Amino acid sequence: MLVLAIDTATPEVVTGVVEVTDDVGPVVRSERRELTTRGHAEILTTRILECLAEAGIARRELDAVVVGQGPGPFTGLRVGLATGAAFGDALGIGVHGVCSLDAIALQEPDVRSLLVVTDARRREVYWARFVDGVRTHGPDVLAPGELADHLAGESIDAVAGSPGHTALFGLPARGASAPTAASLVQVALPNLVASVVPGPLTPLYLRRPDAVELKDRKK
């Protein structure tokens, strides 16, 4: 099974082609990861085509798409979801949405209790807590100080995610800062191997978009 992986929930745009085999599991055939704060729309399709070319895969050979549903800022996240949905519709294949924070946490399997935070702008973070790889809290959005109070008394061994925000919590910081092509597919793997028909993509914006029409601002 050949899977196109996409994530635009963080400033690191992630694309890749991953092959899922019965005996080995997900194997990355190609991957692109590029930091950009507002250039998701400009680079995403180009990076996808580069990944397909490097993997020697034609678009019609893809069997599924996995796309990060966030949480993430409105504009960037929408680009990834729309592109993933367009590929799925054009090729007649399923598009599986996964929580982007789950794909970050999956990269730190040796941490029993893990906090994952990413940049939500407005001096806030998107966050989730994981115990033994299972999400127990979140995803949600809070200011770092409020999150620290919210988690007071909880046992947390380490924090992963945006480097500029992991340092705010006084916890050992891990290296996973964004999803990878492999971790996105790994989160979706049970549904992929079971040939589950995915439901509609639901973006995890967690709040209203920054840009609204004037009539909505008055409300």
Same-domain status, 96 and 191: yes
Cα separation of 66 and 30, whole Å? 15
Q: What is the 3-state secondary structure (H, E, C) of 110-163?
A: CCCEEEEEEEEECCEEEEEEEECCEEEEEEEEECHHHHHHHCCCCCCCEEEECH
- Asked if 181 and 17 count as a contact pair (C-beta separation under 8 A), the reply is yes
Q: Label the pairing between strands 12-21 and 25-35.
A: antiparallel
Determine the Cα–Cα distance for residues 45 and 213; give it in Å rounded to an integer.
28
Relative orientation angle of helices 40-55 and 74-91, to the nearest 10 degrees:
40
Rounding to the nearest 10 degrees, give the CA dihedral for residues 7, 183, 193, 21. 110
Q: What is the pLDDT of residues 187-207, one digit of tens each?
A: 999 999 999 999 999 999 997
Is 172 inside any structural domain?
no
Nearest to 48 by CA among 71, 18, 17: 17
Answer whether residue 195 is part of any domain. yes
* Total structural domains within the chain: 2
- Mean pLDDT, residues 51-74: 97
Instruction: Tell me the average pLDDT across 66-82.
Output: 95
Q: Are residues 65 and 13 part of one domain?
A: yes
What is the reported pTM? 0.92
> Are residue 201 and residue 157 in the same domain, yes or no?
no
Is 171 inside any structural domain? no
In a domain, 30, yes or no: yes
Residue 113: CATH number of its domain: 3.30.420.40
Regarding whether 47 and 86 lie in a shared domain, the answer is: yes
Identify whether residues 96 and 115 lie together within a single domain: no
Same domain, 191 and 117: no
pLDDT above 70 covers a percentage of the chain that reads 95
For the record, the structure tokens of 45 come out as 């399709």
Letter for the amino acid at 53?
Answer: A
Q: State how far the Cα of 219 lies from the Cα of 217, in Å rounded to an integer.
A: 5
Confidence label for 208 from pLDDT (cuts 50, 70 and 90): low
Asked which of 10-14, 24-28, 130-134, 167-171 is least confident by mean pLDDT, the reply is 24-28
In a domain, 11, yes or no: yes
Determine the length of the chain.
219
- Per-residue pLDDT band at 214 (split at 50, 70, 90): very low
End-to-end CA distance of the chain: 49
* 72 and 13 both lie in a single domain: yes
Q: Which domain holds residue 25?
A: 2-101+178-218
In this structure, is residue 89 part of a structural domain? yes
Please name the residues in contact with 104: beta carbons below 8 A apart, sequence gap of 6 or more.
Answer: 116, 118, 160, 161, 176, 177, 178, 179, 183
Which of 35-39, 107-111, 173-177, 207-211 is predicted least confidently? 207-211
Residues in Cβ contact with 37 at an 8 Å cutoff, skipping those fewer than 6 apart = 11
pLDDT band, very low/low/confident/very high, at 22 (cuts 50, 70, 90): confident
